[in-house]
Amino acid sequence: DTPDAWRNTHPEYEYKFWSDADNRELVRTKYPWFLPTYDGYAHPISRADAARYLVVLTYGGVYADLDVKPLRDISELLCKVSHESQQMLVTETPNYGLTNAFFAAVPNSATLEQWVRKLPSLAHPWGGRLFPHLEVMLSAGSTRYWRFLVTEAEPSSLVRLPLGEWGACSNCRSRCPAEPGAFFKHSRGNSWHNFDTTVLNWLNCHPCLIVWLLVCLALAACKTLLARRVRLGLSNPSWTDYDDVALPSTRSSQLLPGWVLDASGFALVVFALNFDM
């Protein structure tokens, strides 16, 4: 029902659904220099990401994902691109930054062409072999698209669609109250997501857990280093070489240099000192 929603709210607009075959034919005929990169993408969603930029670069107009349905005529939004220097309407997302799920541009936009010309050099990003999600997002996906727009594109060429008018819900929330000024209704999409995407999104929504994991890893690393120093004889001898030794318990107390903590109690001592401060 998404195509019908666009046709009903925009009867004077031309609506076109682009298939995989249509996309590749456009690349082959209009951008043959990009065809090896396009065919070389490991994931179909990467080809879909790249194709949307090429279609709008060629013909101008509006791109929208299939899970984005208009609530009313968006001509008001397009009128925001009113000055000659302004070439693109880009969309803020509650999931950080800018999204490529909806954007608009004039034909042959210099900003969009600059972005398209960079795509071959970004086809194989770091981390891609470990996490398919990173390969998608950091090649032609929305994360790399956002980074380009905020770090390399001419700011005066961009007009931003604010969150209230976009009306999307964060990945960290299953339901959001309807925005009274929103132009769009969003259904649950993300059909390309795999298990690694689910895990990474979950971690992104629980930053405190990430902090605790990093703390635990740091403590484990310190414990390992202490145990290694003891085995190699790099530290002073054990507690028995000192008379009347007691652990410090006040805020002003500090561990004396040369003490060797029992590895099994290391984390407890560190946490106790941290909580006392």
Please, which residues have CB within 8 angstroms of residue 57's CB and are 6 or more apart in sequence? 105, 107, 108, 109, 112, 113, 116
Rounded (10°) angle between helices 110-118 and 44-59: 150
Q: Which residue has the tokens 């995407």?
A: 197
pLDDT tens track for 174-210? 666 667 889 998 876 555 555 555 565 656 665 677 7
Q: Any idea which of 6-10, 205-209, 246-250 has the lowest mean pLDDT?
A: 246-250
DSSP string over 20-73 = HHHHHHHHHHH-GGGHHHHHH-SSHHHHHHHHHHHHHHHH-EEEE-TTEEESS-
Q: What is the mean pLDDT of the chain?
A: 79
Instruction: Tell me how crowded residue 117 is: count the other CB atoms within 10 A of its CB.
Output: 11
Q: For tokens 């770090």, name the residue.
A: 151
- pLDDT of 205: 65
Give the pLDDT confidence score for residue 173 in this predicted structure: 60
Residue 202: the pLDDT is 58
Give the pLDDT of residue 206.
Answer: 58
Residues of the chain above pLDDT 70, percent: 71
DSSP string spanning 83-116?
A: STT--EEEEE-TTSSEEEEEEEE-TT-HHHHHHH
State residue 260's pLDDT score: 34
**Span 90-108, pLDDT tens digits:** 999 877 789 999 999 999 9
pLDDT at 270: 30
pLDDT greater than 60 at residue 275: no
- Res 226: pLDDT: 83
Span 39-72, pLDDT tens digits: 999 889 999 999 999 999 999 999 999 989 999 9
Residue 262 scores a pLDDT above 90: no
The pTM (predicted TM-score) of the whole model is: 0.69
Q: Is the pLDDT of residue 243 over 60?
A: no
Least confident of 27-36, 200-209, 241-250: 241-250
Provide the pLDDT confidence category of residue 128 given band limits of 50, 70 and 90: low
pLDDT score at 276: 33
- CB proximity list for 132: less than 8 A, separation 6 or greater: 42, 43, 194, 196, 197
Highest mean pLDDT, choosing among 21-35, 117-131, 139-153 = 21-35
Of 234 and 3, the one with more pLDDT: 3
Q: Give me the pLDDT at residue 64, please.
A: 95
